[in-house]
Amino acid sequence: MAKNLGLAGWLVMAIPAVLTFIFSTWPTYSFTADHVAAFTVAIKRSTARVHLCDEAERAAFLDAMKGRVKHMQRKNAVCGSREKAIMGLKVAVDGKELFSGEIKPSGLHSDGVTYVYESFHLPSGAHHVKVEMRDTNRSDGEFDHTFERDSLEFAPGQVIVLDFDSDTKTFVIL
Amino acid sequence: MDNTPAVKKGKSMSPVIPWVLRPGNAVLVFMQEQFNKIFTPLLNPFYFLGAITFFFCWILFITGAYLFLYYDMDPKGSYDSIQYLTLDQQYVGGIMRSLHRYATDGLMIVILFHVLQVLFSDRFRSHRWLAWVTGVIILPITWFAGFTGYFLVWDDKAQMIATETSHIFDILPISSEPLSRAFLVNDTLNPVFFFFLNFGHIALHTLLLILGWVHVMRVTRPLISPPWALGMPIMVLLLAISFIKPALSGQPADLSKLVGTIDIDWFYMAPYPIINAFDLEATTVWFLFGGFYLLFVLLPWLVPGHRASDDADAGTGSVISGIDDIGMDAADMIAQRLEENSAQKVPRGVAQVTLKDCKACDLCLEVCPFEAISIDPRSDDMPYSTEATINPSLCGECGFCVTACEFDAIEMDGWTKSTFLGHIEALFSATNGSKPKIMAFVCERSIDLDSVIDKEKKRFIGMDDVAVMVLPCIGVISPALVEYSLKAGACGIVAVGGRALDCHFRAARRRIQAGMEGDPSPFYVERMNQDNIKVFLISRFKGEELLRDIKAFVAETSIDKKEEV
């Protein structure tokens, strides 16, 4: 049995080594062109419930619960539907609509948080940016919150992330 | 003058290989042959791809353990900790990191070659389906483990991986919160995520080892470490690359900036430029990946032309002869058994026990290379406490047990030991033309049968004195077959198998090799001159050489016979 490789064996074994040597870093790849920036809208928002009980409905609901569940369970019971409103979102840059759509809340019963992650590549420079968001069940088609900057400056390669602060109920750039 | 008969130019591949695999098989065999010339069959890396995979895994574990000691799992400190290893500990940590990195690349290369070899050598179907399926599971896990390793460095490559991969995973219903939100800005990076990823990276490699064990579970005596003569050059070459081109980090990840131009490890990151260049949506990526992956998993059941399901002429030992040549009794017996098997829906090709003839002697258990036979409590009223049982899902259809059974109790495709013996008798009968002197057993996968065998005469081309019987594997040759050949009139035995280490069943190679290295030959028969037995382990492309060597052997053996007479 051969105990060691000959020179030819070493050379053949070196082929995958050379391939590794080369292709572990080369050729390079450009994921984004120069002078491109990104505008990312990343919202985490608990939208309003579709239907909130009024006083009378709540009283009737609690009455119906009496004797069926314990006091603490009654206190935490949800009157009406748990379902939350579908979020409406519109993103426009320099007057051009980049996104317009409705986003369902998470959860099997649409009762969770609504998440939005939309990223747009733009040429670097100043842009007019307008983001509108609806987080209620209103039927007039209007939006509840608006972010608008006449001239938002994007440096080459810069990523600007727009989020929504639920405490202040305003859009914020992270 | 060289009167060696020329090989017939016809189909170049053994009929056993399905047509869809034949082009790939031809390339594979050609490459193996070239490598055999350079490395010798005993050190041919093609025959140790699985073992080399394990070798790379061990390198990854050892170097990874060292890197783990210094790695800072906080996103703010991870890049610096790797830089410390790379630059401040250049000749320990730096080399460890480079070895870890390049072993990862080596692992992917070897696995890909291993997959191609298994596929084109038709070693992924039948009883080998489990090894194939686990192997197909191992492939993406290896890839995933690799890129989690790249992620941990948290440089620009890691940023690209994080952002691009999270977009792809966002559409999966695994979390209500999109994964992309984890990589919005530098300040929102969660240390717990890095902690999870670090242990996930280690867990994935551990999972790989476990899957590796399942992968080889049905392989009898699997090769899990390469010979020193191969392992040492691999290690030396890995070290050489590590010294010449140490693995370095890119720019620190900065989520406030887009990833621009980066150096790509094409063995792991090739999908990302493709996705980027074609601007593929996540759904398209999953659809393409899922489709190809499903196709890959199901290959053992999709590739047509399984030997056992071909027509009867492709069955055990009948490639050349056809059952009409083995005497009417035997032919009737085979036909009857096949009919019964068909009625009982017995899978073609799989060996099975005829219980009424089984004496529970354990002979079949000893020869089975796939551990498909077990000895179980007797289920009939015969006066034996146990019986042999064959697990069809483990049966490799090699036929070893058929000829090992002294009592004709095991059959495969209607063939039992008696029918093998009847076949030999028919080959030596006067009705077959001139009486042969040599009995040759040929592995059906060893060579292009059409190029060396005269199907009509059941002889090697131009050699009327050599009767030929084609077997699923030369491991089927038992002392009984040899004994019977002698009784029928043979003075010598020829066994033709594939190149050493390149045997479809491997166990046969071990048996033959043991015989060659001084252990009792599987063909050992007391009254036979051992010099009159010749084993040829040949290249598929060496038909002419085989015929020439057999002719020379026949000439020598014939002289011996005359002397004996």
Give residue-wise pLDDT tens across range A90-129: 999 999 999 999 999 998 888 899 999 999 999 999 999 9
Both tokens of residue B528?
């036979």
C-alpha to C-alpha distance for B327 and B363, rounded to whole angstroms: 27
Residue A37 has pLDDT above 80, yes or no: yes
- Nearest-by-Cβ selection for B40 from A2, A32, A117: A2
Cα R_g (chain B), whole angstroms: 29
What is the rounded CA–CA span in Å between residue A53 and residue A60? Answer: 10
Is residue A43 one of the residues assigned to a domain? yes
- A78 with A88, same domain: the answer is no
Whether A30 sits inside 8 A of B237 (CB atoms) is: no
Cα-Cα-Cα-Cα dihedral of B360, B363, B369, B370, to 10°?
0
Mutate to test the interface with B, among A29, A30, A45 (most CBs of B within 10 A): A29
Q: Give the per-residue pLDDT at B244.
A: 95
Q: Are residues A63 and A132 in the same domain?
A: no
Average pLDDT over residues A32-41: 93
Per-residue pLDDT 10s for chain B (565 aa) are: 444 444 444 333 345 677 788 888 888 888 888 898 899 878 889 988 989 999 999 999 999 999 999 999 888 899 999 999 999 988 899 999 999 999 999 999 999 999 999 898 888 887 788 889 999 999 999 999 998 999 999 999 999 999 999 999 998 888 888 889 889 999 888 888 889 989 999 999 889 888 988 888 777 667 788 999 999 999 999 999 999 999 999 999 999 999 999 999 999 999 999 999 999 999 999 999 999 999 999 998 888 754 443 433 333 344 333 444 444 455 565 566 556 655 555 555 788 898 988 988 888 888 888 888 999 998 888 888 899 999 888 888 888 888 888 888 998 877 888 888 888 888 887 555 577 888 999 888 888 888 888 877 788 888 888 888 888 888 888 888 888 888 888 888 888 887 755 677 766 666 666 655 555 566 666 666 777 888 888 877 788 889 999 989 888 876 554 444 3
3-state SS of A40-54 is: EEEEEECCCECCCCC
* C-alpha A162: how far from chain center: 10
What's the domain count of chain A? Answer: 2
Tell me, yes or no, whether A123 and A40 share the same domain: yes
A8 — pLDDT class (breaks 50, 70, 90): very high
Which amino acid is present at B15?
P
B317–chain A nearest CA distance, Å? 33
Q: What residues of chain B lie within 8 A of the CB of A13, using their CB?
A: 45, 230, 233-234, 237
Could you tell me the sign of the dihedral formed by the alpha carbons of A151, A153, A159, A162, in that order?
negative
Residue A67 covered by a domain = yes
pLDDT of residue B314: 35
A100 and A161 co-located in one domain: yes
Strands B438-443 and B463-471: parallel
Residues A66, A112 share a domain: no
Q: Which of B40, B165, B185 to mutate to test the interface with A (most CBs of A within 10 A)?
A: B185
CATH of residue A108: 2.60.40
CB B303 within 8 A of CB B20: yes
**Is residue A17 situated within a structural domain?**
no
Contacts of B260 in chain A (CB under 8 A): 30-32, 34, 157
Q: Which helix (H) or strand (E) holds B4?
A: none
The answer as to whether A79 is a domain residue is yes
CB pairs under 8 A between A and B: 129
| A15 in contact with chain B, both atoms CB, cutoff 8 A | no
Domains of chain B: 47-302 (1.20.810.10), 308-564 (no CATH)
Residues A122 and A154 in one domain: yes
Residues B491 and B532 sit within 8 Å (Cβ to Cβ): yes
Query: Rg of the Cα trace of chain A?
Result: 28
H helix or E strand, kind and range, residue B423: helix B417-428
- Is there a contact between B45 and A13 if contact means CB atoms under 8 Å apart? yes
Please check whether residues A108 and A163 belong to one and the same domain.
Answer: yes
Burial tier of A154 (Cβ tally within 10 Å: 0-12, 13-18, 19+): buried
Amino acid occupying residue B519: D
**Run of H or E including B274:** helix B271-278
Fill in the amino acid letter for A121: H
- pLDDT of B285: 95
Residue B413: what pLDDT?
78
| Residue B19 identity (one-letter amino acid) | W
CA atoms lying within 13 Å on the CB side of residue B328: 0
Q: What gap in Å lies between CA B195 and CA B366, rounded to an integer?
A: 51
Q: Are residues A68 and A132 in the same domain?
A: no
Short-list B413, B411, B370, CA closest to B505: B370
Which whole-number Å values give the CA distances from B218 to B53, B55, B132, B482, in the listed order? 18, 20, 11, 30
> Are A73 and A147 in the same domain?
no
Residue A58 domain flag: yes
d(CA B509, CA B524): 16
Do B372 and B390 contact (CB within 8 A), yes or no? yes
Tokens linked to B13: 């591949």
Domain region containing A135: 36-48+84-173
- pLDDT recorded at residue B312: 36
A36 chain-B contacts, CB cut-off 8 A: 258
Listed residue (B430, B429, B427) closest to B441, CA to CA: B427
Q: Are residues A101 and A159 in the same domain?
A: yes
Name which of B108, B166, B189, B264 to mutate to probe chain A: the one with the most chain A Cβ atoms within 10 A of its Cβ.
Answer: B264
Cα angle value A90/A92/A94 (rounded, 5°)? 170
Structure tokens at B275: 């996705």
**Would A28 be classed as within a structural domain?**
no
Looking at the structure, tell me whether residues A43 and A110 fall in a common domain. Answer: yes
Q: In this structure, is residue A112 part of a structural domain? A: yes
Reported in sequence order, the residue ranges of B444-504 that DSSP labels E, i.e. its strands, are 453-454, 459-460, 463-471, 492-498
Residue A8 forms part of a structural domain: no
pLDDT at B502: 65
Tell me: do A108 and A56 sit in the same domain.
no
CA A114 – CA A109 distance, rounded (Å): 12
Question: Mapping DSSP to helix (H, G, I), strand (E, B) and coil, where does residue A98 land?
Answer: strand
